[in-house]
């Protein structure tokens, strides 16, 4: 469903760019542009209020709150200046981009990347790293004045280089999630990919309207920005922080002396049998919130060594290990209770929803639950 949403949004952006060509410039300048900027400012300030009201000590939410405040203040200054002293802020055409346009566009693009950076690499973003990211962009602007070559297209694309660096951390985040959680709903990396795709669309539209001679195409960027802020704010408020979930879960577990050394093959076999017996008898995986740290109840190891143990002994991540047990439990329940519905099976085996159960069951067995149960 999320994938289809991204496709529909991309098609809407393309259609909007084409339709905006037919908007009279006077209507856009005097009515649509001030109206949409006003809505953007309202969304930003109201969203920042909601975010800071529900930060719950989460650093990542504060980053999004600061993003909304910065963008809202920028648009407010633009709105007031355009009403008090109307002037052409952006001269369309790639060869006529001003320093103001380049710096502001890059700065706004960088601000939009604060949230995914903190999500993928919590604690990494600091004042020092922020300056290190901004210095290359400022240096390119200065070089554009000093050398006879036109560096403006390169400057306009600089935020996309930052996005590519972020994408390189997506796999690491996904691996970490699968090593610690048995349910990836609400913390799935797909959300970050969807957010980054929306940011790319905003940036691409900005570059496009700069390279064309139709200022009314800015209509697309304005409504797309409003959509991005409204959608992302709603998602971020209701989305838990997985890093904090892990820390809280570990604090709740009483492991005063966790073992952190490696075990011999014989000891590993004994620990594996102990874990298999616990999983079979106690069925802890039926809890949707089952986490890696819960294995500490039977294995005397800290989280790092628990992850290494599962990976070395079972050849898979904790997420795959738990869902294999859930699927086997679903098969057993269906054999013993043929009348049981798929929704009930999913709930009793620890899956967060029927859709999640269906996707994992199909991936595990190669058949959908309905087809497999019919054959059974």
Q: What is the CATH number for 313?
A: 1.10.10.60
**Residue 103 maps to a domain:** yes
More confident residue, 25 or 261: 25
pLDDT of residue 296: 81
Q: Return all residues near 90 (Cβ < 8 A) that are at least 6 apart.
A: 98, 101, 209, 210, 215, 218
Domain-terminating residue out of 195, 211, 246: 246
* 242 in the same domain as 263: no
* 195 in the same domain as 113: yes
pLDDT of residue 260: 47
* 279 in the same domain as 181: no
Domain-terminating residue out of 212, 246, 280: 246
Q: Is residue 262's pLDDT more than 90?
A: no
- Residue whose token pair is 């057993």: 332
* 288 in the same domain as 239: no
- Report how far residue 213's alpha carbon sits from residue 97's, in angstroms, rounded to the nearest whole number: 12
**Residue 356 maps to a domain:** yes
* 334 in the same domain as 210: no
Band of residue 308 on the pLDDT scale cut at 50, 70, 90: confident
Span 227-251, mean pLDDT? 76
* 319 in the same domain as 234: no
- Residue 310: both structure tokens together: 């599962």
pLDDT of residue 43: 94
- Report how far residue 285's alpha carbon sits from residue 182's, in angstroms, rounded to the nearest whole number: 8
* 194 in the same domain as 159: yes
Q: What is the pLDDT of residues 326-374, one digit of tens each?
A: 888 888 888 888 888 888 888 888 888 888 888 888 888 888 778 777 7
**Residue 254 maps to a domain:** no
Span 167-190, mean pLDDT? 78
Could you tell me how many residues make up the chain? 376
Q: Is residue 93's pLDDT more than 70?
A: no
* Least confident span in 14-23, 26-35, 157-166, 247-256: 247-256
* 270 in the same domain as 226: no
**Residue 253 maps to a domain:** no
**Residue 251 maps to a domain:** no
* 233 in the same domain as 152: yes
**Residue 252 maps to a domain:** no
* 326 in the same domain as 238: no
- Report how far residue 134's alpha carbon sits from residue 125's, in angstroms, rounded to the nearest whole number: 12
* 142 in the same domain as 19: yes
More confident residue, 42 or 108: 42
Q: Is residue 97's pLDDT more than 70?
A: no
Domain-terminating residue out of 246, 273, 304: 246
Domain that holds residue 8: 2-246
Say which CATH number the domain at 199 has. 1.20.1070
CB 105 within 8 A of CB 158: no
Q: Is residue 92's pLDDT more than 60?
A: no
The chain-wide mean pLDDT, for the chain, equals 80
**Residue 19 maps to a domain:** yes
Band of residue 247 on the pLDDT scale cut at 50, 70, 90: low
The domain total for the chain is 2
What predicted TM-score, i.e. pTM, was given to this entire model? 0.76
**Residue 146 maps to a domain:** yes
Q: What is the pLDDT of residues 8-67, one digit of tens each?
A: 888 988 898 888 888 888 888 788 888 999 999 999 999 999 999 888 777 888 889 999
pLDDT of residue 242: 73
* 266 in the same domain as 236: no
């Amino acid at each position: 469903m999320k994938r289809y949403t991204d496709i529909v949004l991309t098609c809407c952006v393309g259609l909007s760019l084409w339709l905006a060509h037919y908007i009279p410039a006077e209507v856009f300048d005097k009515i649509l542009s001030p109206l949409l900027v006003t809505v953007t400012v309202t969304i930003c300030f109201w969203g920042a209020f909601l975010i800071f009201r529900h930060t719950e000590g989460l650093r990542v939410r504060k980053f999004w709150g600061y993003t909304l405040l910065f963008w809202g203040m920028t648009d407010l200054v633009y709105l007031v200046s355009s009403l008090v002293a109307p002037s052409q802020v952006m001269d369309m055409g790639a060869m006529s981009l001003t320093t103001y346009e380049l710096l502001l566009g890059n700065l706004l693009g960088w601000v939009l990347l604060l949230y995914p950076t903190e999500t993928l690499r919590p604690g990494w973003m600091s004042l020092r790293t922020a300056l290190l990211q901004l210095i290359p962009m400022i240096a390119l602007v200065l070089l554009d004045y000093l050398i006879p070559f036109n560096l403006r297209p390169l400057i306009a694309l600089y935020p996309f280089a930052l996005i590519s660096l972020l994408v390189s951390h997506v796999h690491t985040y996904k691996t970490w999630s699968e090593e610690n959680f048995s349910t990836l709903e609400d913390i799935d990396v797909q959300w970050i990919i969807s957010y980054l795709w929306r940011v790319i669309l905003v940036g691409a539209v900005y570059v496009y309207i700069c390279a064309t001679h139709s200022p009314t195409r800015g209509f697309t960027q304005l409504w797309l920005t409003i959509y991005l802020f409204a959608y992302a704010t709603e998602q971020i408020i209701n989305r838990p922080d997985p890093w904090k979930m892990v820390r809280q879960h570990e604090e709740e577990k009483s492991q005063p002396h966790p073992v952190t050394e490696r075990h011999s093959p014989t000891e590993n076999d004994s620990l594996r049998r102990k874990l298999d017996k616990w999983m079979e008898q106690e069925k802890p995986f039926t809890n949707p919130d089952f986490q890696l740290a819960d294995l500490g109840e039977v294995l005397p190891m800290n989280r790092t060594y628990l992850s290494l143990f599962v990976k070395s002994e079972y050849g898979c991540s904790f997420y795959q290990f738990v869902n294999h047990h859930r699927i086997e439990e679903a098969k057993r329940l269906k054999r013993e209770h043929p009348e049981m519905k798929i929704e009930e099976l999913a709930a009793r085996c620890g899956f967060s929803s029927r859709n999640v159960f269906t996707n994992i069951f199909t991936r595990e067995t190669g058949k959908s639950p309905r087809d497999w149960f019919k054959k059974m």
